Amino acid sequence: MNAQGKLGIALVGLGEYSEKQLAPALQETNHCYLAAIVTGTPGKVDKWKGKYKIPDKNIYNYKSFDAIKENPDIDIVYIVLPNALHAEYVIRAARAGKHVICEKPMAITVEECDQMITACEEAGVMLSLGYRLHFEPYNLEMMRLGKEKPFGNWLSITAENGIQGTSGWRLDKSLAGGGPLMDLGIYCVQGCRYTTGMEPIAVTAKEAAKTDPEKFRSVEEGLSWVMEFPDNIKAACTTSYSKEMNKLRAEAENGWAELGPAYEYSGIKGQSSQGKMEFPEINQQAKQMDDFAQAIKDKRPSPVPGEMGRQDVIILQAIYKAMATGQRIEIG
Ligand code: NDP
């Protein structure tokens, strides 16, 4: 904690998300600040050091990472690495006695999620996920509508999240764990879970035909799936690396509500059968990180804990199983 009472965050992995979203957001936070960086690319250090005034003693690489244990400037470690590396670094951060935020998806297997949760429990540190939309007013409104039911019970949901084009580790199954489902479809799974406040009980899925089998040789290019929720609510979802889509829509007995775009960092818009939704624009990442810092200070649970990330990985794995087998897969 610094003199102003802010908790120190170490960003691990200085890629796009750290550079363009998290570090700028940490200039707007009230309860935490950017204290340290961990990078495997020495060429990035000078720029970060200069821009954010990070002292040399708070700069680490992946080999020296465990020495953060001795550094009282670091209270929270934020893992922003390719998906397959999340488990190792969350566990190492926990063993160094630091609270952890892990980016989505939590890991590429449920077993890894279990190990991460256990490591944090054993170390007595808190674990949360980078689920920024739980702090975003339009998505919070979908949660409220699901809870308070002003339109009656939900009947069905449509969730779509896709982008045109991707590259690098996201096309490599060994680092990403899968294709757009792991990266973008997870927002649809989340959207359906928090809009209904329920857990899916079964899933069916179908892979989209590949337009570029060479580029997408190790991961799917696109995928559609249907999640069955209690009360006969069905959620039809689609994700893709070759089509722009960004929507969350729920139909109820006496009305409907829709966000589009639903999952962006800013510019989210919403409407319902009662009219246009109007909420202030906020910095999602700043809110998310501040909430975790406050949760640590107040010794209260995070609204986006490791268990929530684990449940998403269970669902993602069931969707892949349904896709591979063509069968309806029940989710225990
Ligand atoms: P990038 O590819 O832009 O950055 C990943 C960084 O990880 C690299 O720059 C590198 O940083 C480090 N790294 C370490 N080992 C490897 C490796 N073997 N291959 C590639 N990079 C490596 O990815 P993003 O920043 O877009 O994504 C990182 C994580 O954040 C992912 O889990 C992703 O799902 C999540 N994410 C979440 C978002 C959200 O809205 N919540 C949005 C975007 C991403 P260095 O050179 O410093 O070592």
For residue 80 and ligand 1, the question of a CB distance below 6 A is answered with yes
Cis peptide before 105 (omega within 30 of 0): yes
Query: Do residues 162 and 57 both lie within one domain?
Result: no
Query: Do residues 66 and 168 both lie within one domain?
Result: no
C-alpha pair distances (Å), 222 with each of 74, 163, 225, 241, 262: 40, 10, 10, 6, 19
For residue 177 and ligand 1, the question of a CB distance below 6 A is answered with no
Q: What is the mean pLDDT of the segment spanning 80-104?
A: 99
Q: Would the pLDDT of 142 be above 90? A: yes
Query: Do residues 123 and 104 both lie within one domain?
Result: yes
Query: Do residues 265 and 162 both lie within one domain?
Result: yes
> Rounded to whole angstroms, how far apart are CA atoms 62 and 172?
21
> Residue 173 sits in a domain of what CATH number?
3.30.360.10
Mutate to test the pocket of ligand 1, among 41, 63, 80 (most ligand atoms within 8 A of CB): 80
Query: Do residues 179 and 316 both lie within one domain?
Result: yes
> Residue 37 sits in a domain of what CATH number?
3.40.50.720
Query: Do residues 34 and 154 both lie within one domain?
Result: no
What average pLDDT does the chain have?
A: 98
Domain span at 47: 7-132+286-304
For residue 13 and ligand 1, the question of a CB distance below 6 A is answered with yes
Query: Do residues 325 and 228 both lie within one domain?
Result: yes
Query: Do residues 126 and 253 both lie within one domain?
Result: no
Query: Do residues 71 and 30 both lie within one domain?
Result: yes
Tell me if 302 sits within 8 A of 171, measured CB to CB: no
β-bridge partners, 9: 34, 76
pLDDT-derived band at 1 (thresholds 50, 70, 90) equals confident
End-to-end CA distance of the chain: 41
For the CA atoms of 199, 203, 209, 211, what is the dihedral angle to 10 degrees?
A: 20
Instruction: Give a yes or no: residue 122 inside a domain.
Output: yes
Cis peptide before 303 (omega within 30 of 0): no
Q: How many domains does the chain have?
A: 2
Instruction: Give a yes or no: residue 2 inside a domain.
Output: no
Residue-level pLDDT at 147:
97
83 Cα nearest atom in ligand 1: 32
Tell me if 102 sits within 8 A of 127, measured CB to CB: yes
Residue-wise pLDDT tens digits, 219-275:
999 999 999 999 999 999 999 999 999 999 999 999 999 999 999 999 999 999 999
Instruction: Give a yes or no: residue 316 inside a domain.
Output: yes
Nearest CA to ligand 1 atom 9: 15
Q: What is the mean pLDDT of the segment spanning 125-141?
A: 98
Query: Do residues 67 and 208 both lie within one domain?
Result: no
pLDDT-derived band at 3 (thresholds 50, 70, 90) equals confident
Query: Do residues 276 and 264 both lie within one domain?
Result: yes
Q: 106 — phi, psi (to 5°)? A: -55, -40
C-alpha pair distances (Å), 327 with each of 2, 192, 259, 322: 54, 21, 31, 5
Q: What is the mean pLDDT of the segment spanning 31-49?
A: 98
Provide the residue type at 155 as one letter. Answer: L
> Rounded to whole angstroms, how far apart are CA atoms 181 and 262?
16
Instruction: Give a yes or no: residue 295 inside a domain.
Output: yes
Name the pTM for this structure.
0.98
Of the candidates 185, 249, 187, 246, the one whose C-alpha atom is nearest the C-alpha of residue 221 is: 185
Query: Do residues 205 and 321 both lie within one domain?
Result: yes
Residue-level pLDDT at 332:
82
Q: Would the pLDDT of 126 be above 90? A: yes
Name the pairing type of β-strands 32-38 and 7-12.
Answer: parallel
Instruction: Give a yes or no: residue 1 inside a domain.
Output: no
Residue-wise pLDDT tens digits, 204-218:
999 999 999 999 999
Q: What is the mean pLDDT of the segment spanning 138-156?
A: 98
Structure tokens at 279: 């909420």
